[in-house]
Chain A
């Protein structure tokens, strides 16, 4: 309790005290790289309208990781393997993969059911120490960033930075292809190859983010910073880097909250900050829009008819 109070009263002392813990240094280092990758990749996920892919990814990441554990392999082998195979599959499906498609939804519900089976296989295989198996299953679902060892933190950071590097390398044509694939294709941009590359990067990001915030919550780390930045600016490049900035900020603030209040799981802290950023951006832009609409309607007495402004209600 004195640590908490001291950290609030003397921020610099508190910061150096916080970073004095090796596990928090690992968490901050790896977390920063992972958040950078998630923010960048997540922006394109939102831009392409493929948030559902992130939702499906969380099912696959969980099942892949627990399948590896159940068969006695390294967790990360299953995690990356499943996520990358899934990414290639989603790229092959293309824009047909939408959220309300019952076929794809059923497949992923079944995959998650398989994950429950593997969790149970793994738990019962370790007879007597069932709590350990159950705990690692929960870690896959909800993340364990404070439990990363130094070597894990290094390898996660390197993987995340490789994703960032690859993303920056293909970022320009990828943005072009995502915004208007027909024109990009006509200009000789390899749209299909970029699509595959993007989904492989998404798969790797999901794999690495699962270790930080968990399979079920990685959707928030992909969607919330990107959604916020997309509301704030229309320029794709600015929004992309703003999204990365929001993700890193959420990571830092969330980890700090988890450090100050030990009962709060770090994954919740990170997601709460990210959702808060989104909420602020949403309310701010909605208020500005409303004020601007009122101002312009008071100037010009001919507002758009509701038939023009109101789109088709309900799902597509």
Chain B
């Protein structure tokens, strides 16, 4: 660990932060964290609205065998993350429709099997590579050490592409998410949008995995968006709030992880969960106060998706 004594110093001053940023790897960690937080917030906001968080979780898990396989083959792990997640996104987009429309329990059995098999393949690759256990926990639970300049550039380029694609398809996607039937009637290409969004989600999951680890992607992808949608039902406000929360969670976690010995994934998930709990509690409190005052006695729409309203 970079500091002599683990744990947050009692006399935390700006000097500690100057010291932190004197390390190039910490600067890179913050650069990568910022890029990842913005993408995760933006795509995660749509994902929570579309109720596809299980798909997001699966895509993130698949990035682990991708990265492990890439390391085994001697290719860059960053490439492995993206290839694994994007392939899985295409498979998820294609498989459920082509199967002969059985019950939903069958579909979840498929996802469960795919997920477990992907993780098992990851173990196989690690074992074939020779099994450096420390890098294995890094892949699973996140690491912010040793992010190279090249990696930051790759993360940035992918982030720009993802955000541009999201901006281009944002409006019809929101429409298709909120009212699919009307969107189909208005000739919005719902099917194409859904596949494209899954690919974007795959790219995002691959990006986030590189900071939080494959198992804890959920924390950065879901928690800020879920918290923001608790706070405000208006799409614009909650979208902006998601980005702010994702950045705050990432920066705080990286700083705390720098001063302590514990993995960054733990801090991201714990701080994210804390933010979410606070938002939900605040919302419940506001609802209770609101229901007492006679002025707002009309039934309030509790969940964000139904409360949203957009014009196509």
Partners in one complex: yes
Which residues of chain A have a CB within 8 Å of any CB of chain B? Answer: 46-49, 51-52, 54-55, 99-100, 102-103, 105-110, 112-114, 116-117, 119-121, 124, 131, 134-135, 137-138, 141-142, 216-224, 226-227, 230-231, 263-265, 267-268, 271-272, 274-275, 278, 282, 286, 289-290, 293, 309-311, 313-316
Chain B 158-180 interface 0/1 with A at a Cβ cutoff of 8 Å (1 = within): 00000000000000000000001
- In terms of DSSP, what is the predominant structure of the interface of chain B? helix
Chain B 253-282 interface 0/1 with A at a Cβ cutoff of 8 Å (1 = within): 000000001110111111011001000100
- Cβ of B133 < 8 Å from any Cβ of A? yes
- Cβ of B123 < 8 Å from any Cβ of A? yes
Cα distance A289–B98 when bound, in Å? Answer: 12
Q: Which residues of A contact B3 (CB under 8 A)?
A: none
A-B contacts, 14 listed (Cβ < 8 Å): A49-B103, A109-B216, A109-B269, A109-B273, A113-B270, A116-B215, A119-B141, A138-B137, A223-B113, A230-B105, A231-B102, A265-B124, A275-B113, A293-B100
Stretch at the interface among B28-36, B74-82, B219-227, B235-243: B219-227
**From residue B178, how far is it (CB to closest CB) to chain A in Å?**
12
Question: Is the pair A231, B106 in contact by a Cβ cutoff of 8 Å?
Answer: yes
Also in contact, A219 and B136, with CB within 8 A (given A100-B51, A109-B273): no
Question: Is the pair A316, B266 in contact by a Cβ cutoff of 8 Å?
Answer: no
Question: Is the pair B262, A219 in contact by a Cβ cutoff of 8 Å?
Answer: no
Question: Is the pair B270, A49 in contact by a Cβ cutoff of 8 Å?
Answer: no
Task: Name the contact of B266 in the complex, choosing from A114, A218, A264 (C-beta under 8 A).
Answer: A114
Stretch at the interface among B52-60, B146-154, B288-296: B52-60
- Cβ of B232 < 8 Å from any Cβ of A? no
Q: Which residue of B lies closest to A109 (CB)?
A: B218
**From residue B216, how far is it (CB to closest CB) to chain A in Å?**
6
Number of interface residues of B (CB under 8 A): 64
Question: Is the pair B137, A220 in contact by a Cβ cutoff of 8 Å?
Answer: no
- In terms of DSSP, what is the predominant structure of the interface of chain A? helix
- Cβ of B109 < 8 Å from any Cβ of A? yes
Q: Which residue of B lies closest to A105 (CB)?
A: B53
Which residues of chain B have a CB within 8 Å of any CB of chain A? Answer: 48, 50-54, 57, 97, 99-106, 108-117, 119-121, 123-124, 127-128, 133-134, 136-137, 140-142, 180, 190, 194, 213, 215-216, 218-219, 222-223, 226, 261-263, 265-270, 272-273, 276, 280
Question: Is the pair A120, B266 in contact by a Cβ cutoff of 8 Å?
Answer: yes
**From residue A172, how far is it (CB to closest CB) to chain B in Å?**
20
Question: Is the pair A227, B110 in contact by a Cβ cutoff of 8 Å?
Answer: yes
Task: Name the contact of B219 in the complex, choosing from A110, A134, A141 (C-beta under 8 A).
Answer: A110
Most A C-beta atoms less than 10 A away, residue of B57, B102, B123? B123
Question: Is the pair B112, A219 in contact by a Cβ cutoff of 8 Å?
Answer: yes
Question: Is the pair A134, B116 in contact by a Cβ cutoff of 8 Å?
Answer: no
Most A C-beta atoms less than 10 A away, residue of B121, B124, B222? B124
